[in-house]
């Protein structure tokens, strides 16, 4: 047995442990920033989807260190809002507490097609 062979048995679990910790920290930090943003703005997160590839309006402008969520939230007035949330900054990634949101545009209310403006007043 070589003298250097034993250190490999200790190095592999250490590297694996570090990789597992890095993945855990990435998702934990990302969700923590998302939840803090919602709490600060008086929102309740009803649905969140971590987006890896389809990042909506943040597709071309996000770095590897940033995370993007598709969210549905309820505000204090009870309104339901859908949008995209990006956590982290371009350079510092999730080391930054920065959170950006882009809300979906709400379509204007449609007129009732069965309403006659002269007869149904």
Residue 83, strand partner residues: 71, 103
pTM of the model: 0.72
Segments in the chain forming alpha helices (H)? 5-40
20 torsion bin: left (phi>0), alpha (psi -120 to 50), beta (else): alpha
Q: In whole angstroms, what is the distance from residue 81 CA to residue 78 CA?
A: 9
Q: Which residue has the higher pLDDT, 19 or 75?
A: 75
Q: What pLDDT is stored for residue 1 in this prediction?
A: 47
At 66-94, the pLDDT tens digits run: 889 999 999 999 999 999 999 988 888 77
Given this model, what pLDDT does residue 113 score? 64
User: For the chain, which residues make up each domain, given as ranges?
Assistant: 5-103
CA dist., res. 58 & res. 67, Å (int): 10
Amino acid 10: pLDDT: 75
Residue keyed to tokens 């250490």: 14
pLDDT digits (tens, 9 = 90+) for 53-67: 888 888 887 877 888
Over 50: is that where the pLDDT of 107 sits?
yes
């Amino acid at each position: 047995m070589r003298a250097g062979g034993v250190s490999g048995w200790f190095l592999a679990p250490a590297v694996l442990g570090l990789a597992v910790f890095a993945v855990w920290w990435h998702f934990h930090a990302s969700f923590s920033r998302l939840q803090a943003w919602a709490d600060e703005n008086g929102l309740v997160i009803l649905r969140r989807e971590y987006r890896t590839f389809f990042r909506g309006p943040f597709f071309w402008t996000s770095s590897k260190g940033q995370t993007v969520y598709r969210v549905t939230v309820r505000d204090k007035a009870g309104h339901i809002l859908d949008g995209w949330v990006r956590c982290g900054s371009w350079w510092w990634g999730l080391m930054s507490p920065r959170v950006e949101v882009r809300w979906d545009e709400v379509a204007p209310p449609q007129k009732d097609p069965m309403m006659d403006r002269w007869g149904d007043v």
